Amino acid sequence: MPRKEIGLESTIDYLSILDTKGKPDKDLEPRIGKELLLDMHRAMVRARRFDEHQLRWQRQGRLGTFAPVIGQEASQIGTVAVLDDQDWMVPAYRQSAAALWRGTPLAGLLLYNAGYNEGGEIPEGQNDLPIAIPVASQIPHAVGIGYALKQEGSGHLAMTYFGDGATSEGDFHEAMNFAGVFNTPTIFVCENNQYAISVPREKQTRAGTLAQKAIAYGIPGIQVDGNDILAVYSAASEAAERARKGDGPTLIECVTYRMAVHTTADDPGKYRTQKEEEQWQKKDPIERFRKYLTARKLLNKKKIESLEEELEKEVKSAWDEAEQRMAELDRHPEVMFDHLYGEMPAYLGTQRKAMTDEDDDANG
Amino acid sequence: MAQNKVTTLQAINTALHEAMAQDDSILVFGEDVADPEEGGVNGATRGLSTEFGESRVRSTPISEQAIIGAAIGSAMAGMRPVAEIMLMNFSTVAMDMIVNHAAKLRYMSGGQTAVPLTIRVTTGAGFGTAGQHSDYLEAWFAHTAGLKVVTGSTPAETAGLLKACIFDDDPCIFIENLPAYWQKGEAPEPGQTIPLGKARIAREGSDVTVVTYGPQVAVAEAAAEQLAEEKITVEVVDLRTIQPWDRDTVLNAVAKTGRAVVSHEAVRAFGVGAEISSVIHEELFDQLRAPVQRVGAPSTAVPYSKALESAFVPDADKVVAAIRKTLK
Ligand SMILES: Cc1ncc(C[n+]2csc(CCOP(=O)(O)OP(=O)(O)O)c2C)c(N)n1
């Protein structure tokens, strides 16, 4: 009747490939085609510049509150880049970089952030879900999607995103448990950006890592340097291969930093130090990747400049497009009755018509 | 004496300070509520953890079920917890705890277990934060036996009612209105509480009675102001406690005028107004000079854009239109 240590089924790795100077660990460096490398770089810069513009427009009152991705570009692009078109992407509310990669237009995001649900329309054929506001609520969906994909025997997978704070919700634990028991092709990407609004990661859980939570559910977990796109991509590729082979789910914890505000209603100066922000600045995922690409002669100053110019133009013309749509939509408040049911019930039709006619008698 | 004006947020903050100073068993749980986390995302609990310590005022992980569940547990063990759920929409995550436990523990223990818990929630259209942020769920809670549902219409009212909830021995859902947080009004009298279950006549009138609560009280008052120019006088009843509501005050006020409008920001269909309107018809059918009218939001989700939001929230014109219907 001994008392003895129980050997846990798995351990948790930490993976980092690029150092802060952009120098790769040669043994770990993944083989990624040049085109994909440049696409990933472009996507990271595009997401960042877009948010920088959005933050300005929000301050000018042209956009509503939104959650910027700045600082988390590697953790999103490095993961989403392993998906193919038939895979599913299930975001929280901060995954603009991933959504843009998948094909969501800039103008759509702008429209959405200006307060128009129409902007949230997902282009035909893009297997993404709309954003989810209640923290962690999207995670079980990715398990169900994975289940359906498995049922179809498609070899496709579902990838879902959430923050460190989300790991405190029951939804996260219940979803991980389901995924383990049902062995679904689901990749759980936890973007540990150190804060849930103003609550630091240490106050969210006493566990040393978030990745280790996988152990309790019998699934593989890995912690990666989330500001190192090569590490993120490698971990995501492994997880995707596992899922496609029928070997089930994986939890990936990307250790990263929310370099900007939580949402535009927040002031980080009140709960974190400038020194901390500066330290993370040095680990900027875009700078690091640029150094790597430059050393590999895939990128140079001139190419960067022309990319920046091109993106500047693209973002501005997206704004013009979004603005035009807003003006059209504002004229029709009765659209608030659309999309509640597959077929509009008669009472809603009455209310809709009353609003069109500005007839107060008919509401209800 | 010049009146001291404060915002609703300041009034809530003062009420919490006063209550906590008065009773050591009061605990505050919620996301971001302690001072290192800014004392609440809107600052409602600011200063409390500094004054009363972080063991009484605790920022929690993002776990609504556990916030309410642990608050219920601590309430059963002698504490008086005040749990903050950041937005009313997220109370849905803790619905099991609220509906199956907080509301029912006294009943199911044959009266042995009280749950003196206050759940503070905030909500309200006005900031363009859309479908999963701004719902009005008071009818759900009012429909659940065992819960009290309370909301204030001015800073002083809010403070007095909040303290009454905290010191009440039953679970109370205390609904705050987000846009009203930054509106100013007279400061609450120190130490004042407002009894639960007692409505208030916010404005006297003799032609029509408008029964309402929360932010719609000011809207009803504005409607009354408009109609005063036509010599139509409107009585405005502020329910304060949505459940159990003050039938005597409401029925007396309606009996006096013979006409009633019930108004709220929540969706009109299946709303609190339906219950009140029914009771008025049941009790005062003979004395009514016109059918009771209801004002509420259209049957849809709170829309996202500002333009649509303002078409969604009932304004004074809608209340005036309903009043005119009772006068036809
Ligand atoms: C169920 C629920 N509770 C509370 C909130 C309010 N809220 C919005 S974002 C947030 C912090 C989430 O932090 P994390 O999961 O780490 O993601 P991040 O925002 O850092 O990306 C909170 C508490 C919410 N949206 N949903």
Which amino acid does the sequence have at B196?
L
Residues linked to residue A252 through DSSP beta bridges, in sequence order: A189, A222
Is residue A2, in this structure, part of any structural domain at all? Answer: no
φ, ψ of residue A352 in degrees (nearest 5): -65, -45
Cβ separation of B294 and A165 shorter than 8 Å?
no
Structural domain boundaries, residue A364 = 337-364
Asked if A314 and A49 touch (Cβ cutoff 8 Å), the reply is no
Q: Is the pLDDT of residue B158 over 60?
A: yes
Alpha-carbon distance values, B5 to A245, B8, B151, B185, B216 (Å) = 66, 10, 20, 5, 20
Helix or strand holding residue B80 (H, E): strand B80-85
| Number of domains making up chain A | 2
Structural domain boundaries, residue B250 = 200-327
Q: Is the pLDDT of residue A124 over 60?
A: yes
Give the three-state DSSP class for A85: coil
Q: Is the pLDDT of residue B306 over 60?
A: yes
- Chain A contacts to B (CB-CB under 8 A): 64-65, 114-117, 132-137, 165-166, 168-171, 196-199, 203-205, 265-266, 270-271, 326, 329-330, 333, 335-337, 340, 347-348, 351, 355, 360-361, 363-364
CA distance B311 to chain A (A): 7
> Does one domain contain both B205 and B97?
no
Final residue belonging to a domain, choices B186, B211, B240: B186
Helix or strand holding residue A222 (H, E): strand A221-225
Is residue B180, in this structure, part of any structural domain at all? Answer: yes
Alpha-carbon distance values, B52 to A69, B24, B34, B46, B47 (Å) = 36, 9, 10, 11, 9
Sign of CA dihedral B46, B50, B55, B59: positive
Catalytic residue among A59, A271, A339, A347: A271
Give the CATH number of the domain where residue B290 resides: 3.40.50.920
Is residue A1, in this structure, part of any structural domain at all? Answer: no
Average pLDDT, chain B: 96
Catalytic residue among A48, A94, A242, A258: A258
Would you list the DSSP string of B143-160? TSTT-EEEE-SSHHHHHH
φ, ψ of residue A192 in degrees (nearest 5): -80, 90
Would you state the structure tokens that stand for residue A209, as one six-digit string? 């890592």
Cβ separation of A360 and B92 shorter than 8 Å?
no
pLDDT, tens only, B82-104: 999 999 999 999 999 999 999 99
A166 lines ligand 1 (CB under 6 A): yes
> Does one domain contain both A27 and A65?
yes
Nearest-by-Cβ selection for A165 from B41, B62, B301: B62
> Does one domain contain both A233 and A323?
yes
> Does one domain contain both A343 and A290?
no
- State the pLDDT confidence band at A254, using cuts at 50, 70 and 90: very high
E strands in A36-166: 88-90, 158-163
Give the three-state DSSP class for A91: coil
Is residue A253, in this structure, part of any structural domain at all? Answer: yes
Cβ separation of A271 and B38 shorter than 8 Å?
yes
pLDDT, tens only, A334-349: 988 988 999 999 999 9
Would you state the structure tokens that stand for residue A298, as one six-digit string? 């895939």
> Does one domain contain both B235 and B165?
no
Is residue A286, in this structure, part of any structural domain at all? Answer: yes
> Does one domain contain both A123 and A179?
yes
Which amino acid does the sequence have at A86?
Q
Nearest chain A residue to B85 by CA: give it: A134
φ, ψ of residue B23 in degrees (nearest 5): -140, 115
Is residue A284, in this structure, part of any structural domain at all? Answer: yes
Counting every residue written for chain B, the total comes to 328
> Does one domain contain both B206 and B178?
no
Which residue carries 């050591």 as its tokens? B24
Is residue B296, in this structure, part of any structural domain at all? Answer: yes
> Does one domain contain both A324 and A309?
yes
Is residue B193, in this structure, part of any structural domain at all? Answer: no
> Does one domain contain both B166 and B211?
no
Q: How many CA atoms lie within 13 A of A225 on its CB side?
A: 19
Any idea which residues of B carry the catalytic annotation?
Answer: 133
Give the three-state DSSP class for A49: helix
Cβ separation of A336 and B303 shorter than 8 Å?
yes
Give the three-state DSSP class for A167: helix
Q: Is the pLDDT of residue A362 over 70?
A: no
Residues 104-163 of B with CB under 8 A from A: 127-133
- State the pLDDT confidence band at B125, using cuts at 50, 70 and 90: confident
The complex scores an ipTM of 0.90
- pTM for this structure? 0.94
**How many CB atoms neighbour CB A215 within 10 A?**
17
Pocket test for ligand 1, best of A72, A197, A199, A258 (most atoms within 8 A of CB): A197
ω into B81 cis (within 30 of 0):
no
Angle at A328 between CA A326 and CA A329, to 5 degrees: 65
Active site residue A258: yes
Atom 11 (ligand 1) nearest CA = A196
Would you state the structure tokens that stand for residue B249, as one six-digit string? 């005050």
Is residue B227, in this structure, part of any structural domain at all? Answer: yes
